[in-house]
Structure formats: structure tokens, C-alpha cells
Homo-oligomer: A and B are copies of this chain.
Amino acid sequence: MQGEFSLGELAVRFGLTLRGEPNLTVRSVATLSHANAGTLSFLANSRYRRQLESTRATAVLLSAEDASHCPVAALIDPNPYLAYARIAALLHPPVSEAPGIHPSAVVANGARIAASASIGPLAVIEEGVQIAERVRIGPGCIVQRGASVGADSALVSRVNLYPGVTVGQRCILHAGAVVGADGFGFAPNSGTWVKVPQVGSVRIGDDVEIGANTSIDRGSIDDTVVENGVKLDNQIQVGHNVTIGAHTAIAACTGISGSTVIGRRCMVGGMVGFAGHLTIADDVVITGCSLVSASIKNAGSYSSGMPAVETRLWRRMVAHLRRLDTRRDNVGVR
């Protein structure tokens, strides 16, 4: 399935400096420690330089500084991880699906499906849906009324797009992702709740990746928006009316409450909670397990994740913190 490439060919194609025999070939990637002949490995962090010594890889992608420590052929680049990403995609291309609609799929008459698209087994495509060229809709996906998927995007399997959701080009959505379910909107009515219809939709830009079991709610009136190049890990919850700015990356299990606007190029750790109606600036970093309870105006790194310690020590720390409050506010007033 995979091709074989010579180091010389890779050096030319990706603009790398080769130190070694250009006729050597590689077929697949490997970690330094598990590499065999015919594999290409990489070293992106000098901290792991010692792993070079014993590697059996045919060649290693690394920086000029690390190259002198490399006992095998070296492909040198200032950003070896980026070069690795590109070469790995060449060596391990995705399995391509034959165009066409699987006979077990249920496709509405009024759906428009490009000839080069593939619709997998037991997928459901409802009325008014538009599927663009080379889109891959995997097994068990459900694309509801009037939703659309842009060219070269993939719904890997069991993805669910609710009515009217739009997905851009070159997106990847993983199993269990739900895009466009109702936002959590209820009006209080003397001790009970009255549902507020969620009449907005969700717009997903181009080059967005959405992880397994991630949920993105439709807007209550206007749309929920995920801009171009956003990368969402698994099990993320995006509330109604949220906007996530272009090229922001968010790690797993993070939850974003309704109407919060996150800037561009932000990096958000795992299990972060965002309160609602906030505005987060561009280029903000939030470390894992933080609670963002107020808007952030300036780029920078923000945290509130409390590191675990021995339980006995932790209990004392909590007790001390409580006791601070009983000291008549005399902390800091000496």
C-alpha cells in the first residue's frame, strides 16, 4: 500500500539537507526506539537526544544541532517535527474510498452529492443536503436536512450533523462528533423550565478537525462559529453562540459555555472550563484544568489548575486555606 522513497528524493521534495547515502530508502515512520531498517524517525526535542545512539532507523529527521549526534543518515531541517508531519503523510496516505453511494446508505432524493464523493454503508443523508467533491462520509454518519459538507472533507464514521449545519473544506470529523444539537436554553417559569427554541445553526470553517465524541451546539438565534484551521480534540463541549477564532487548538474534555468568544491562535489545554459570555483575546494560552471565569484582554498564559500532592498534605493545605478566612482578614495587613 505504502510507497518507498529514497532519502535523496525526500531531501529534494521537502527542501531538507541530507547527510548520508541518497539511495537509501524508507517505507514507513517509526519512533527512535522501535525503528527498524526501512523506517524514518525524527528527533524534535534535544532532550531525547540520547535515544539517537541506539536507533536502528535508516534515517532520522532532526535539527542541525542534533545532527552531529546521529549515527545513521540524517535529514536536517530547522523544524524537524513539521517536516516529519509532511513526510509521514506521504509515507502513510489515507486509504482512499471508491466514489459512490453504498447500497445500504439511505439518501434522500433531494440531496445533492458530488460524483467523486463516497457515502459509506448505513449512512443517512436527508433532504436538501449538499456533499461536495471528494468528500468521504463514513459508515453510520447522519447528515440531516439542509446540512452541507465542503470539498475534500471527511466524516470518518458515525458523525452526526444536525439540520442546516455547514462544514467547510478539508475538514476531518471523528466518530461520535455531534454538530448542531440544541443549545442549553430554558426560560424559568415559577420553578419549572420552558424550552427556548434553538433556531441558529453551526458554521464550521475550512481545515477544521473535530475529535471523537465532541459536541458543538447550534446557536440559539445566530450561529455558533468555528473558524478556519481550528483543531478540536475529543470530548470537547462547545455551547451555543460560541465563536472559536481561526487556528485555535483546544485539547480534550474542555467545555466552553454559551456566547463566549475565543480569539485566534489560542492554545487551550485539556479539561479547561470557560464561563459564558466571555471574550478571550488572540494568542492566549490556557493551561490544563483551568477555569476561565472572566474575559481575557491580553495575550499570555493563564492558569488555575491545582497540581496534585499527597492526599494528607492536600487536606492540610485545604484546611490552611479555609483558616485564612477565620483570621479576621489579618493576612497581608501587618
Question: Contact residues of A with B, CB < 8 Å?
Answer: 28-31, 34, 79, 81-82, 84-86, 88-89, 92, 95, 102, 104, 106, 120-122, 124, 126, 139-140, 142, 144-145, 156-158, 160, 162-163, 172, 174-176, 178, 181-182, 184-189, 191-197, 199, 207, 209, 211-213, 215, 217, 221-222, 229, 231, 233-235, 237, 239, 247, 249, 251-253, 255, 257, 265, 270-271, 273, 275, 285-294, 300-318, 320-327, 330-332, 334
Contacts and interface: CB of A to CB of B under 8 A. Distances in A.
A189 B82 contact: yes
Contact of A187 (B84, B124, B156, B334): B84
B88 A197 contact: yes
A160 to B, nearest CB: 4
B184 A251 contact: yes
A211 B215 CA distance: 9
A192 B157 contact: no
Given A158-B160, A172-B182, A176-B213, 12 more contacts: A88-B197, A156-B162, A174-B182, A178-B212, A181-B212, A182-B209, A184-B211, A184-B234, A287-B311, A291-B305, A317-B325, A327-B331
A179 to B, nearest CB: 9
A288 B160 contact: no
B291 A199 contact: no
Contact of A212 (B215, B270, B311): B215
A288 B275 contact: yes
B252 A255 contact: yes
A33 to B, nearest CB: 9
A320 B316 contact: no
A44 to B, nearest CB: 9
B317 A327 contact: no
A257 to B, nearest CB: 6
Given A106-B122, A187-B85, A304 B304 contact: no
* 4 nearest CB pairs, A to B: A301-B311, A320-B324, A178-B212, A181-B212
Contact of A124 (B139, B196, B289, B327): B139
